[in-house]
Amino acid sequence: MKTQAKVVVIGGGVVGASVLYHLTKLGCRDVVLLERSELTSGSTWHAAGGMHTINGDPNVAKLQQYTIELYQEIEQLSGQDITMHMTGGVMLAATEERFDWLKGVYAKGKYLGMDDLEIITPKRAHELLPLIDPSQFVGAMYDPIEGHVDPYGVTHAYAKSARKNGAEFYTHTKVESLSQDTDGTWNVITDKGAIKAEHIVNAAGLWAREVGRMVGLELPVLAMEHMYLLTEDMPEVAEANAKTGSEVIHAVDFDGEIYVRQERGGMLMGTYEKACVPWSERETPWEFGHQLLEPDIDRIAPSLEVGFRHFPAFERAGIKQIINGPFTFAPDGNPLVGPIKGMTNYWAACAVMAGFSQGGGVGLALANWIVNGDPDFDVWAMDVSRFGDYTNMAYTNARVRENYSRRFSIRYPNEELEAGRPLLTTSIYDRQKAAGAQFGAAYGLEVPLWYAPEGVKDEFSWRRSTDFEYIGAEARGVRDSVGLGDISGFAKYSVTGKAAHAWLDRMLACHVPAVGRMTLAP
């Protein structure tokens, strides 16, 4: 084993392997990946392997598109078959509200250049996916860039491609401790020896917390149990294959909280159930690797009931196996990527729950960041710095549970979710609340967004929510008279020195106000 490297990547799942490959692609070849068991151990090996371009954040959607386009490249370079099934897929809407949401997703996709997206009728959705009952839906969106891959194949394709480019990876090599010298050099102590490194990447997946704790860091991640079932062979699947000449396409049924795809001669159905359960809340056992968890079909029964109604053929199918395995999530469901504040060259690449849609993009962003000093595009939605020290274990647990249970729920504009709050408050929070303040959270701090009269409750919509009228009245009051704003949530900076005034006057898009005055300064 090498005793020195520029970068050591800890974790041999799909994300760690992607980071390793992208570092070599940028010319950084003195890189090592350490995996305590086998590649894919933890979450990667039992994943359903789904991939799609659609995401609520346009920048993350671009990274997902990049990930899918990358697969052909690593398959050719490595010679490793990744078993790509590019079937296309439909997103199904059973309500008008959901259909409105799909139209918004469609518009964002068109803006991003996803020209093949289509808004379709239930009848057309049934032609593409004969297993659905079209009477249960009001509309759908078709995306030809959707499918699934083999988790083993993709992970090994990344690793083999990286090795061809000069990287090394060591399996059955457990990282036991990390320390840093005064010159910034990292000491990576393993059960096979020590490696000195300039950079450390925490891509440890289920063990991201443990690798973080080696340097006194508590990352806001939590593993959740996730189940999907595999059916016996279904005659309806064989009939659909014969009729279309191809595999059954993917589908997401948001109102049923399920996703489906073909698996051999049967189907796979997964669910993000409301009655979700965390796994190993405080620490992940080091001996865990290629094990599965005990399934609990009663927990997903409500989703399955809706699924059987929307996909009648499933009700007649035999269940061959129920897979229950843990995946890690951040409080908002997006990855945690980037440099850790206050530490030199310690990087995060974890909580990537959609590794086969996002793994390539995460690897690209982090490799750019390490090698070039910048990720090269807007990655705020997955920047680890979006969470601060306020994310204690109780907060993370509450937010992850909420996010998982709402995975397929609509998030309306201006809707503030409640789990884990209030966490941080100002000294006048109670007085504001008594006055009708409706709060949002800014970096953990409760900040008033608007004031509701007694008896008025915010009801959200794709159009004008309840708050519109009252916020308008507040704005007119400030414009025509006077108002008082709480800016406790704003960051405060102190600029001192003889040239402070001149420097600020040059840096800001406005002039520095006179003494005793203030202004909004973009």
- The DSSP annotation for 181-204 comes to -TTS-EEEEETTEEEEEEEEEE--
CB 201 within 8 A of CB 47: no
- The residue type of 431 is R
The domains of the chain are located at 4-382, 414-491
Residue from 143, 47, 9, 41 nearest 87 by CA:
143
Strand 4-10 versus strand 193-202 pairing type: parallel
pLDDT score of 453: 95
CB 267 within 8 A of CB 299: no
Q: Which residue has 């925490």 as its token pair?
A: 202
Which CATH superfamily, name and number, covers 4-382?
FAD/NAD(P)-binding domain (3.50.50.60)
Residue from 345, 288, 289, 362 nearest 16 by CA:
362
Long-range interactions of 240-249: CB distance < 8 A, separation 24+: 240/129, 240/130, 240/131, 243/130, 246/87, 247/85, 247/87, 248/87, 248/129, 248/131, 249/87, 249/88, 249/89, 249/90, 249/128, 249/129, 249/146
- The residue type of 450 is W
Q: Give the model confidence (pLDDT) of 90-147 as tens digits.
A: 999 999 999 999 999 999 999 888 999 999 999 999 999 999 999 999 999 999 999 9
CA–CA separation, 304 vs 271, rounded Å? Answer: 8
Q: Which residue has 């979450």 as its token pair?
A: 43
pLDDT score of 214: 98
CA–CA separation, 15 vs 314, rounded Å? Answer: 33
pLDDT score of 112: 87
pLDDT score of 521: 79
Which CATH superfamily, name and number, covers 414-491?
Probable tRNA modification gtpase trme; domain 1 (3.30.1360.120)
Angle CA 490–494–495, to nearest 5 = 130
Q: Which residues in the chain show pLDDT less than 70?
A: none
pLDDT score of 58: 87
The length of the chain, given as a count of residues? 522
pLDDT score of 458: 86
CA quadruple 202, 205, 209, 214: dihedral, nearest 10: -40
- Please give the sequence-ordered ranges of beta strands (E in DSSP) within 330-369, or none if there are none: 336-339, 346-350
Q: For 30, which DSSP code?
A: -
What pTM value is reported for the model? Answer: 0.94
Q: Give the model confidence (pLDDT) of 491-506 as tens digits.
A: 888 999 999 999 999 9
272 Cα distance to chain centroid: 14
